[in-house]
Structure 1
Amino acid sequence: MADQSGEQRSVCFLSGGLTIRGELRLPRNTSKPCPIVLLGHGLGALKEWTLPEVAEAFAKDGIAGLWFDYRNYGDSDGEPRDEVSHYGRLEDWHSAIRYAETLPEIDGKSIGIWGTSLGGRDVLAMASIDPRVKAVVAQTPVIKWTPSLATRMSEYGDDVERYHRELSDDRKKRALGAEPRYLPYVKESGNDAKAEYLGAMGAAELRNYKARISLQSFQSSVLTDVAPLVKLISPRPLLFILAEQDFLPGQREAYDAAEDPKFLVTIEGNHFSPYGNSKKEAIDAAKEWFIEYLIDK
C-alpha cells in the first residue's frame, strides 16, 4: 500500500477530571473516516518513547494513531508526579477511546488498542470489558503483578519483607502529609536492557524524564493476574507479541487461556527487544494484524 503518513497534531481530553495530553497521527488523503489504534507504553514510560514510530508505521497503511501520557506523567495532569496509577491508567484508556469516537476523521466502529509491557496488561483488561474495542495487540504484557515481580522490578531484589514494610511505611507517612518516596527509574543494582533503551534516546524523547518512579507505583492492585480476563476478549481478535527471553511470568499461560481468534508472534531477545533489535518485526506484526481486522476490504 502506498505511503499515506499524514498530519500529526497535539490533542487533549479529560479523564477523571484530569487533562490527558497526547498526539494524534492521521493518514494522508483520507476520503472517509479511518480506523484508529490507541497506543500505550509501560511502567513509568512516556508518550515520546517508541509510540510515535509505531503510529507512523500504522499511518502509512491508512490507520490513525492516538498515544498519550498517562495521568501523573509527562504532559498530562495528575499528582503525585511520576507515580503509576494502576486504576487511573484504565480510566485514561476509557477516556481516550471516548475521545477518539468524537473525532470526525475517525471511524468509531473501527478502534484497536495496542499496549506494551504494563500497557499490554492494560489493553488485555480493557478489551475484556469494553465492547468498543475491535482488535487488540498485547506486546510483552505484564500478566501477574506479584510482590516478587514488584521487588524484582524495583530495588528490593528478593527481599519481599522489606518491600512490604517500606511500602506500608511510605503509605502511612503520605497519609500524614509527607512527600512520596521515589526510587530510581533504572535500578541502582543495574538493568542493562532498560539503561540501553534510555541511552539511545535523544533530548526530545527525554524532556519529561525525571529518572524516578514513586515507591507506590509498585503496589499491587486488583489486576494482580489478568489471565482470567483474557478469555473474555473473544470474539475480538487478539495478537500476543512475546520475546523469547522475557522475564515476565504467565504470558504463555495467558495466551493459552485466550479463545479464538488469536495469534502468537514470538520475537528474539528480552523484554526490551521490541524497542531495539526486534522492533521492525514487532511493528510489522502489529500492523498486519490491524490491517486485517480494522480496514474494510
Structure 2
Amino acid sequence: MTENTKERTVEFLSDGHVIRGVLGVPDGDGSFPIVILGQGLAGLKEWTLPEVGAALIQVGIAALWFDYRNFGDSDGLPRDEVSHYGRLQDWHDAISYAASLPEVDVRNLGIWGTSLGGRDVLAVAAIDRRVKAVVSQTPLIKWTPALAARMAGYGTDLERFFRELADDRTKRTLAEAPCYVPVVKASGDDAKAAFIAGLSEGDKRNYSGRVTLQSYQPTTLVDIIPLVELISPTPVLFILAEQDFLPGQKEAYHATKEPKSLVTIGGDHFGPYTVSKSDSIIATTGWFKKRFLAESMQ
C-alpha cells in the first residue's frame, strides 16, 4: 500500500463463520467505489490480491480482499476444505458487509475473482443485483467429474476417485478425520509448484500445502454457462490466458450478453500471477475506472 491509502483488517459473519479480510480505502473524504477480491481453489488472500487491491486504491477505488471459510485467517472446519456452495455465500456476505461501510458508494460495487473465484463471481453476479461490474479472470467454468478427478491427482481413474470420495465421506459421518491430498500434485502441477515456490514466507504463513479430498467433490453446478446469460445488464470483463488448460472459458464469454469485454494475456493458468501479472492488473483497473469513475473524470 502507498502512504495515500488507509488499510485495516476487517471481519464479518457468513453462515456463522467469521470471515476475515483486509479493507483498503483511498485517502480523502467521501464515499468510494469498491471492488471485492477473491482467490481460487486453495488460494489465500495474501496471494496477488493485495497487489490488485493496491492498484485499484491508487486510482480511487476501495478494495476488500478476504479468506474464504476454512482457509487462512477465516474460521470454519474442517480446515483447508473448499466449500463450493459456502464460498458463494461468503461472496454474498462480503457484498453485504461492504455495502454497510460508510466510506463505500454502494451504487458502484464490483467483484473480481480468479480461477475458481472467477467462477464464483460469475455465479454471484447472475443473481445478486447489488453487483454493478464484474471481472472474471481465468475462470473454472465446467466442474466436471473428469476435471475434478484430474485436479485431485487421480488422472483418468474416475472409479477410484469416486470410491475414495465415498469412503472418506462415510468415515467423516462416523467422526473420523477427513482425508487430505496435496495442493501440488506429483505430476502435472509444475506451473502451480513454481508459483507457490515464488511466494514469500509471509504470503505462505497460512499455507498448509493440503486440501481435503472432499474439496474436489463434483457438485450439481457442473457447468455455469447457463448462468452467465443472466448477468446482463451487469457489465463483465473476462481476462483469459492464452495457454490456460481449463475448458469452456471462451464458450462462457460468447454466451454472456452485452455489455462484456475480453482481454487475452500471455502464459498458462498461472500467467496472471507471474509473467502477465502487470497486464492483468492494468486490464482490471482500466475496466473498473471506466465503469465507476468515468463520470467524475470528465
What TM-score does the superposition give when structure 1 sets the normalisation length? 0.97
Misfit runs of 4+, over 3 Å: none
CA–CA distance in structure 1, aligned partners of residues 228 and 47 of structure 2:
26
Deviation at 1:158, TM superposition (A): 1.1
Partner SS state of residue 21, structure 2:
strand
Aligned to 2:259: 261
Q: Residues 187-206 of structure 1: matches in 2 within 5 Å?
A: 187-206=185-204
Letter of the 1:16 partner, please give it.
Answer: D
Partner SS state of residue 133, structure 1:
coil
User: Which of 189-198 and 199-208 deviates more?
Assistant: 189-198
User: Which of 147-156 and 257-266 deviates more?
Assistant: 147-156
Is the 1:114–1:120 Cα contact (8 Å) retained in structure 2?
yes
Q: Does structure 1 residue 27 correspond to structure 2 residue 19?
A: no
Provide, for residues 175-202 of structure 1, a one-character-per-residue CA deviation record: whole Å limited to 9, x for no partner: 1111000001100224110011111111
Partner SS state of residue 38, structure 1:
strand
CA–CA distance in structure 1, aligned partners of residues 54 and 220 of structure 2:
34
Deviation at 1:154, TM superposition (A): 1.5
Q: Does structure 1 residue 15 correspond to structure 2 residue 14?
A: yes
Aligned to 1:37: 35
Partner SS state of residue 137, structure 1:
strand
CA–CA distance in structure 1, aligned partners of residues 167 and 191 of structure 2:
31
CA–CA distance in structure 1, aligned partners of residues 269 and 133 of structure 2:
23
Aligned to 2:250: 252
CA–CA distance in structure 2, aligned partners of residues 256 and 139 of structure 1:
15
Is the 1:5–1:56 Cα contact (8 Å) retained in structure 2?
no
CA–CA distance in structure 2, aligned partners of residues 132 and 269 of structure 1:
33
Aligned to 1:142: 140
Q: Does structure 1 residue 117 correspond to structure 2 residue 115?
A: yes
Q: Does structure 1 residue 51 correspond to structure 2 residue 49?
A: yes
Letter of the 1:287 partner, please give it.
Answer: T
CA–CA distance in structure 1, aligned partners of residues 97 and 117 of structure 2:
19
Letter of the 1:64 partner, please give it.
Answer: A
Is the 1:4–1:61 Cα contact (8 Å) retained in structure 2?
no
Provide, for residues 242-264 of structure 1, a one-character-per-residue CA deviation record: whole Å limited to 9, x for no partner: 01110000011110000000011
CA–CA distance in structure 2, aligned partners of residues 220 and 107 of structure 1:
37
CA–CA distance in structure 1, aligned partners of residues 122 and 166 of structure 2:
29
Deviation at 1:157, TM superposition (A): 0.8
Partner SS state of residue 136, structure 1:
strand
Deviation at 1:161, TM superposition (A): 1.1
Letter of the 1:40 partner, please give it.
Answer: G
Q: Give the superposed CA RMSD.
A: 1.1
CA–CA distance in structure 2, aligned partners of residues 160 and 5 of structure 1:
52
CA–CA distance in structure 2, aligned partners of residues 221 and 191 of structure 1:
23
Provide, for residues 23-71 of structure 1, a one-character-per-residue CA deviation record: whole Å limited to 9, x for no partner: 0011112x32000000000001111100000000000000010010000
* Pairing partner for 1:238 from 236, 239, 246: 236
- Cα distance change, pair 190–144 in 1 and its aligned pair in 2 (3 A): closer
Q: Does structure 1 residue 226 correspond to structure 2 residue 224?
A: yes
Aligned to 1:276: 274
Partner SS state of residue 162, structure 2:
helix
Q: Residues 30-179 of structure 1: matches in 2 within 5 Å?
A: 31-179=29-177
CA–CA distance in structure 2, aligned partners of residues 198 and 282 of structure 1:
19
- Cα distance change, pair 125–5 in 1 and its aligned pair in 2 (3 A): farther
Aligned to 1:211: 209
Deviation at 1:219, TM superposition (A): 0.7
Aligned length: 294
Aligned to 1:183: 181
Letter of the 1:253 partner, please give it.
Answer: E
Provide, for residues 196-240 of structure 1, a one-character-per-residue CA deviation record: whole Å limited to 9, x for no partner: 111111111000000001000001123211100001111111000
Provide, for residues 133-175 of structure 1, a one-character-per-residue CA deviation record: whole Å limited to 9, x for no partner: 0000000000000011112211101111111111111111111
CA–CA distance in structure 1, aligned partners of residues 287 and 278 of structure 2:
14
Letter of the 1:25 partner, please give it.
Answer: G
Gaps of 5+ in 2: none
